[in-house]
Copies of this chain bind each other. A is one copy, B any other.
């Protein structure tokens, strides 16, 4: 009998397996949400009987989903994005279409990045005003 840590689902690191609750805890999302992402076609884990078994590829996809959410994209947009990541397109037309999509996505992201820079600077200004007001109130 070999000594393995915690469970026997390791070995080839590319073949790690995860339960829904493990992923739920690691990424701090509810299992309900994870199943919902599956309903929406964003994940399709294997099954051992009825139980879902997630591969490390599934885990990466979940990571991408959550990052997309933090950036304010809808699940269907996220679906499009993820499909860009790991699909193996055969035709040139597909690739052209891909590149256009990438360009659109890039524009949105740059807009967001700009919005963030502006907002961060404004926050600096507001904070300075706050601190100024506070010292005034401290020493009247």
Contacts and interface: CB of A to CB of B under 8 A. Distances in A.
Contact of A126 (B102, B127, B137): B102
B119 A71 contact: yes
Interface in A35-52: none
Given A84-B126, A99-B127, A127-B99, A67 B119 contact: yes
For the residues of A in contact with B, the DSSP-based class is helix
A98 B67 contact: no
Contacts of A96: 134
Contact of A111 (B70, B84, B99, B126): B70
| Stoichiometry (number of copies) | 2
Give the interface size bracket for A toward B: 35 or more
A130 B109 CA distance: 20
B123 A67 contact: no
Contacts of A117: 113
A115 B67 contact: yes
